[in-house]
Amino acid sequence: MERFPKTDKLTHVRYDIRGPVHKEALRLEEEGHKILKLNIGNPAPFGFDAPAEILVDVIRNLPTAQGYCDSKGLYSARKAIVQYYQLKGLLDIDVNDVYIGNGVSELITMSMQALLNDGDEILIPMPDYPLWTAAATLAGGKAVHYLCDEENEWFPDIEDIKAKITPNTKAILVINPNNPTGAVYSRQILLDIVELARQHNLIIFADEIYEKILYDGAVHHHIASLAPDLLTVTYNGLSKAYRVAGFRQGWMVLNGPKQQAKGFIEGLDMLASMRLCANTPMQHAIQTALGGYQSINEFILPGGRLLEQRNKAHELLTQIPGISCVKPKGAMYMFPKIDTEMYSIKDDQKFVFDLLQQERVLLVQGSGFNWHKPDHFRVVTLPYVHQLEEAITRLGKFLQKYRQD
C-alpha cells in the first residue's frame, strides 16, 4: 500500500490546463522537441511585454517594499482599486472591502474556503475556467454547472440556471469576458442573472480578469454595478491586460450589503492573515496599471496584434471542414466545436494528447473546462499569426485521421 496517497479531499479536484497532456508536452520539450503552444493564457512569453511604467514603478519601490504588508494589501494599491471601481458604479466600497492576493487564483481559493460548507452549492458556468470548480470542490462544496449556450453567443442559459437553483445554492459565478468562450455578456443577460440572485439571495462572484480585452467595440458591464442591493465579489488583476502574470497580483472587491455576510468576511480576513500578505513589491504596479493610459488598447484596436490574431485564428479554424466557432468578443481564447458526425472523437483528452504526440501542437480539451461532451477544444490566440497558421494547419491535417463520413 502506498504510504502517502493523494488525500481524499483531492480525489475529485482537477485542473487539466496543466494536467497530464501538459506534462507530456514538458517531457517532449525536455527531449528537445519544439511544441506549438496554444494552451495557456500567459501573454509575456508571446512577446506581449508589460508596459514600461509598470516595471519602472516596481523597481523604484523595491527598496521600501522588503517587509510584509497588511494582509489585505498595501493601502495605496487598495485605494487605487477603490477609486477605479467608484468610477465604474460600485459605490459601496472602501479600502477594507478590497483584498489583494497572489493572483486572482489565490483569492478564488480563499473565497471558496470561506463560503462553502460541505454540500453547499455554487452555480458555475459550463464551460468554465476550471479553477473555480476545483476550488469549490476542494472546499467541500458542490460545483453545479449551468449551461452557456453556443447558439446564443455562449450567453448563460437563464432557464438552465433557474432549473439548477436549490435550497443549498449559495452563490453564482459569472466569468465575463469569458474564458474559454470569449463571450462578452450583454447588460440584459447580466440583469437577468442579477434578478435570479436577488430572488434566491445568492452572492454573485464576478470574475472580470479580461475586462479590458474587448474586440469589435464590445462593451463590458460590471455586474456589481447592476446589483447594488446584492453582495457581489468582483475579481481582477494584472496578469492579462497588463501582461505581468508572473507578478502574481490580483484583487477582489466586496460591494453591497456586507452586514449579511459578517461570517464570510471574518473567514476571508482569517484566510488572508494565514497567508500573511501578497507579494509586496509587485503591489506597487497596481496604482500605475489602473490609472492613466491603457496600453492594452494598442493590441485590441484595429491593427493591433491580439485583434489580428483573433481574426486569423477564427478564419483558419472555421475553414477546416466540420469545425465551427463563435467569434469571441473578448479575452484571448476560442472554444471551437468539432462536428462529431464527421469526426469520430469519443475521448477529447486522448484527441489532444495524440495531436501533441503526432503534430507537436498543444491545445486543451473541452472537458478540461468541465464541458460535458468530447466535441470542443480551447485555442489561445496569443501566438503570432505565423505560429497560429502553422498550428491550425497541422490540426486540420491531423483531424482528417478521425474522419468517418
**Contacting residues toward ligand PLP, per CB under 6 A:** 41, 103-105, 129, 175, 179, 207, 209, 237, 239, 245, 250
Name the nearest CA neighbour of 221 among 211, 233, 230. Answer: 211
| Contact by Cβ (8 Å): 374, 345 | yes
Report the nearest approach of ligand PLP to the CB of residue 41 (Å).
Answer: 5
The DSSP secondary-structure symbol of 337 reads E
* Other beta carbons less than 10 A from residue 9's beta carbon: 11
Nearer to ligand PLP, 326 or 345 (CB): 326
Strands 142-149 and 155-156: antiparallel
Nearer to ligand PLP, 239 or 370 (CB): 239
Report the nearest approach of ligand PLP to the CB of residue 13 (Å).
Answer: 16
Nearer to ligand PLP, 39 or 320 (CB): 39
Nearer to ligand PLP, 122 or 320 (CB): 122
If you write DSSP's letter for every residue of 239-264 in order, what string do you get? Answer: SSTT--GGG-EEEEEEES-GGGGHHH
Report the nearest approach of ligand PLP to the CB of residue 215 (Å).
Answer: 17
Nearer to ligand PLP, 239 or 381 (CB): 239
Nearer to ligand PLP, 46 or 343 (CB): 46
User: Left if phi > 0, otherwise alpha if psi is -120 to 50, otherwise beta: which for 276?
Assistant: left
Q: Which three cell numbers stand for residue 73?
A: 494589501
Q: Which three cell numbers stand for residue 179?
A: 474564458
Q: Which three cell numbers stand for residue 297?
A: 488598447
Report the nearest approach of ligand PLP to the CB of residue 187 (Å).
Answer: 20
| Contact by Cβ (8 Å): 328, 334 | yes
| Contact by Cβ (8 Å): 353, 109 | no
Nearer to ligand PLP, 161 or 173 (CB): 173
Q: Which residue's C-beta sits nearest to ligand PLP?
A: 103
Rounded Cα distance, 62 and 355, in Å: 44
Report the nearest approach of ligand PLP to the CB of residue 37 (Å).
Answer: 14
Nearer to ligand PLP, 80 or 345 (CB): 80
| Contact by Cβ (8 Å): 335, 323 | no
Report the nearest approach of ligand PLP to the CB of residue 329 (Å).
Answer: 15
Nearer to ligand PLP, 189 or 380 (CB): 380
Rounded Cα distance, 226 and 318, in Å: 36
Report the nearest approach of ligand PLP to the CB of residue 112 (Å).
Answer: 13
Report the nearest approach of ligand PLP to the CB of residue 39 (Å).
Answer: 11
Rounded Cα distance, 13 and 353, in Å: 20
Report the nearest approach of ligand PLP to the CB of residue 101 (Å).
Answer: 8
Name the nearest CA neighbour of 267 among 94, 98, 115, 139. Answer: 115
Rounded Cα distance, 352 and 364, in Å: 7
